[in-house]
Amino acid sequence: MAAFHTSVTIRFEDADPAGIVFYPRVIALAHGVVEDLIRQTELGWHGWFDHHGLAAPVRHAEADFLAPMRAGEALEARAWAEKFGETSGTFVVEFAGKDGTVRARVRTVHVLVDRATGQPVPLTSEIREALAPFSA
Amino acid sequence: MAAFHTSVTIRFEDADPAGIVFYPRVIALAHGVVEDLIRQTELGWHGWFDHHGLAAPVRHAEADFLAPMRAGEALEARAWAEKFGETSGTFVVEFAGKDGTVRARVRTVHVLVDRATGQPVPLTSEIREALAPFSA
Amino acid sequence: MAAFHTSVTIRFEDADPAGIVFYPRVIALAHGVVEDLIRQTELGWHGWFDHHGLAAPVRHAEADFLAPMRAGEALEARAWAEKFGETSGTFVVEFAGKDGTVRARVRTVHVLVDRATGQPVPLTSEIREALAPFSA
Amino acid sequence: MAAFHTSVTIRFEDADPAGIVFYPRVIALAHGVVEDLIRQTELGWHGWFDHHGLAAPVRHAEADFLAPMRAGEALEARAWAEKFGETSGTFVVEFAGKDGTVRARVRTVHVLVDRATGQPVPLTSEIREALAPFSA
């Protein structure tokens, strides 16, 4: 597998009064990691977000929160694509501490749709090729 | 089943450049609905968030996004508790349009832990009784 | 003066590890109050946000944070429009506790621009008339 | 002047349906830059956020939004401290595009208070010394 690696710093605003990261923020931060992965592909940001009138909304998301994250921490993040279907694909993002322990794992299933109709369309070859280097 | 019902207005900030709600925001809005449910229980906000030195962090979350939500929409939300385990419980939140169609469903599994040690502890009878009126 | 009045509940996510509301969230919540005000005008949400190809971005914002707000609190909010210029207008939003004490005051200066060119355009008569009932 | 310099990438979630950054997010991103500045000082994150039972809440904030920021852009950020009073200090954060044009400027006035009483206290010498290298 060839995961995309980056570092994510937990912001003061990401943490709640209990002092740990508010869990929907982990899912938002995971989206940021996928954005960084996409920027590294041949498609790039604009090739992805303005892709032939298509969009890739999330239809399903799930996350496991294995250990707390705190404001001010710098975590290692890794992300990859998996399980390509006819019209859908899945991204996985993991956040780990300096010691390698996974703190959270987020999985999002995206469906490629036509912006005009909202109907699913087959993954384009450009998308499959762009994500191949970051696929499990 | 006796669900808790409320209304949730989608804010301009909840929507992304594609014009639909950024999906982690749906999960955050679902937490807000659970907060409102909790306020209606006998425990109330402080009884829940300052509960004998305990906390109820989310260990697992999953969500299905069935149809888009747009900024400015007022959605019907309903929430209930289900699947109480020894040390855990699950909240379900659904958002529906005026026509009753469910747009999104969010499920969060909380584990009751001792704040000092982080270790799971059995659900207290106060929590079980407080949530009983809103349980599936 | 005829201010718009509503209630705003501080969410768990709005508060930071210090237990009080993260101040940029107060400014975001103020925008939500202005959204509610706009919904009450003759223009309505769509008349405002899809207004003849125009947009009203914020050019200047300032806020005073006079006393802390905490997660779980329900605050009284009031909002009004003031200082209409040729191409700009100002909204003021105040948040107060049950005892009437103002906790925060947010002031935002919007400039009406043509979406296509980004250039300022004179306030339309529809906007002036829509905001008149909520003007200082 | 010795400003702190860093880079800030605008996230998909930071932009609104108009395609530009929702302005309260600029203020939140500015706080993130100040967090990074603080991490570079002798005090560090914990020395600042757990400082002798003191806290430095924001009493006033103001921002000018000079040109739009869009999702996916990487901006240059610079931050510095200015105008130290007896019990207060001000941070300024500017965001600029690759061509050096300033897109937004955020100014926040913090007052040092005793967490227990909420009363202002004189800036400590540790804070003055820590911020000196990043002061205008």
pTM of the predicted protein model: 0.95
B60 touches chain A (CB under 8 A): yes
By the 10 Å C-beta count (0-12 exposed, 13-18 middle, 19+ buried), B77 is classed as buried
ipTM score of the complex?
0.94
Calculate what percentage of chain C has a pLDDT beyond 70. Answer: 99
Place of tokens 């290298």: D133
Question: Residue C46: what pLDDT?
Answer: 87
CB-closest option in B9, B12, B39 to C31: B12
Of C34, A30, A35, whose CA–CA distance to D70 is shortest? A35
Beta bridge partners of D76: D7, D96
Of B46, B61, B62, whose CA–CA distance to B130 is shortest? B46
- The answer to whether the Cβ–Cβ distance between B61 and A62 falls below 8 Å is yes
Residues of chain D with Cβ-Cβ distance to A15 below 8 Å are none
- The answer to whether the Cβ–Cβ distance between D24 and C22 falls below 8 Å is no
- The answer to whether the Cβ–Cβ distance between D17 and B12 falls below 8 Å is yes
Summary mean pLDDT of chain C: 94
CA distance A110 to C110: 36
Calculate what percentage of chain C has a pLDDT beyond 90. Answer: 85
Residue B14 has pLDDT above 70, yes or no: yes
Residues C29, D23, A16, B91: what is their CA dihedral angle, to the nearest 10 degrees?
Answer: 60
Question: Residue B48: what pLDDT?
Answer: 86
Amino acid of residue A40 = Q
Of A84, A83, A82, A79, whose CA–CA distance to A104 is shortest? A79
CA distance C26 to D16: 17
Query: In angstroms, how far is CA A66 from the centroid of its own chain?
Result: 18
Of D128, D88, D84, whose CA–CA distance to D111 is shortest? D88
Under the banding of pLDDT at 50, 70 and 90, the label for residue B19 is confident
Residues of chain B with Cβ-Cβ distance to D25 below 8 Å are 13
DSSP A37-54: HHHHSSSHHHHHHTBTTE
pLDDT tens per residue, chain A (136 residues)? 689 999 999 999 999 887 899 999 999 999 999 999 999 999 998 888 888 889 999 999 999 999 999 999 999 999 999 988 999 999 999 999 999 999 999 999 999 999 999 899 999 999 999 999 999 8
Interface test with C, best of A10, A11, A22, A27 (most C CBs within 10 A): A22
Residues D38, D39, D42, D45: what is their CA dihedral angle, to the nearest 10 degrees?
Answer: 90
Chain D nearest-CA distance from B24, in A, is 9
Contact assessment for residue A14 and residue A29, using Cβ atoms and an 8 Å cutoff: yes
Biggest distance spanned by C-alpha atoms of chain B: 47
